[in-house]
Structure 1
Amino acid sequence: MAIPTWTTAQAKMSVGINGTYVPFKSAPDSMRRFVRPALFATEDDVWELRLFGTAFLATFHGWNFALVTAHQTDVAKGAPAADQFRVVVNSGNRNLAVPPSSLHRPVIDDEDRQSLKDLTFFDYSGSSAKTEHLDLSSMFWSDAADITADYSFLIGYPSSSAIIELDGDDHSKLSNFTMRWIRQDLEEDEPRPLDVEHRAIFVKHGRSTRESVEPDGLSGSPVFSIIKDKGNDRYLRFDGIVTHANGDRFAVYPSVYIRDMLEHIVQQAEGNGA
């Protein structure tokens, strides 16, 4: 019987993230660099940007996207307009709020699958924005078979995480605006009658010691699992993004549908010579 080498053992205890192996215990917190507050331009000199949920930055076959839920841009319900979405990037000593080059929304004809329309893809492939995106091209998706989930988690920016401090001399000005990310430990649960259709259900892990938070603002938060196959090799699985939450119960848009839509967007663009 062959004795595993240190390299083999180390690989089994790590997961690949953008081509680099990261110890699986460190992987969850390292995912935060691909998750941003969902910010929208306000055209206000003082309140230039508005926080409205969470955005996930992903690359698919070389195309860069920011993903949010569609209801984060539903102006009929008080949300900001989709064309106001911005990703903040650092340029020298300045922060720039960069708009996408285009946006895409799923078209669903099947009346029984209308809940799958709750998604918006912002296309940054033609943008000069230099940000880190998680490469999904070789990722495990929610339909992965013959695997076991060791640990599931979400990364997001709840509304309560924003710290806004006004200037003491002029309350129309800001002295500090900080947005803090959170990670929550999750485990899968069975759907219930009142759950949103076509969603995977996750709940706060029964053994988690992390503080529960008001879930407002967690729409758009990506959910991941560290999984292992029959050979005990570990991988990262993209489970989807949070669309609805009630306390510690999260309805997650399955990534298998996101993959299908990303493939359609890329194929359509390449077919048009983009």
Structure 2
Amino acid sequence: MRLSIVTVFLSFTLGFAPIAPVVAQGIPAAAPADTTHKFENPAGVPAATKKPFLQSKGFRATIVPALLIAYGASTINGNGLYSSYSVKSDINHLFGPGRHTRVDDFLQFAPYFELGGVLLAGVESRNDRVNLGLVILKSEAIMLSSVFAVKHLTNITRPDGSDNFSFPSGHTAQAFLAASIVHTELRDKSQWYGVGAYAIATSVGVLRMVNDKHWESDVIAGAGFGILSAHLAYLTHRNRWGRKPIGRDMSLVPSWSPTGGTGLALTWRPTR
């Protein structure tokens, strides 16, 4: 009887005794969850990696115009391997004295006319009309303020001696600014739009030297100021890119009719 009572007591005790956790050999226990930083990135989005300086947008946008400005400044007067005086002597030898044309006064804006004609023909630019207009206005403001400030600071006499505002060339800066905008807006459609615009801008710089209005240094630095102004305008513009044109989209295409002959057809369709 006493043995039966002891047996029942041991069975009752063993049946309700707490069981120690069994850890499988070779499997480490799970580490407790770290809740100290759980609100730092709740969406789980990986942090953006910072690009190296040589691959950054700022460096790529400024390196070419900075080199142009620096090279232009290094050739002022008789300085540099191929100085402004040497270039002027070669131009006088090729074209002779007394040259003058006003073509460059109008040609400096020709890339803008190229851009307008391409847009009227139905080719879509990188940006909608409103953002494109804002970029142009910002570029012009940067270029005009910087060029005229440097002109007054350097106080370099023009080759023809007309005034002391030779460096840098404002005509060349204007032409290369417009060419940079054409290239940026239409390069996804065809690189030839930019090639044509830069060819026009280069001819403006050459004509400024042929007309005896600017030195080589003025023209090369002016190209740098123009390109830099356009690049800075794009870098600082924060409106959305890639939107459809606002208002009404227009295009101009050639047309032909058996009764009316040849002509141009202007299409005008509403867009959202």
Note whether the superposition's TM-score is higher than 0.5: no
Q: Which structure's relative contact order is higher, taking Cα pairs within 8 Å and 6+ residues apart?
A: 2
The answer to which structure has the higher helix fraction is 2
TM-score by length of 1: 0.24
TM-score by length of 2: 0.25
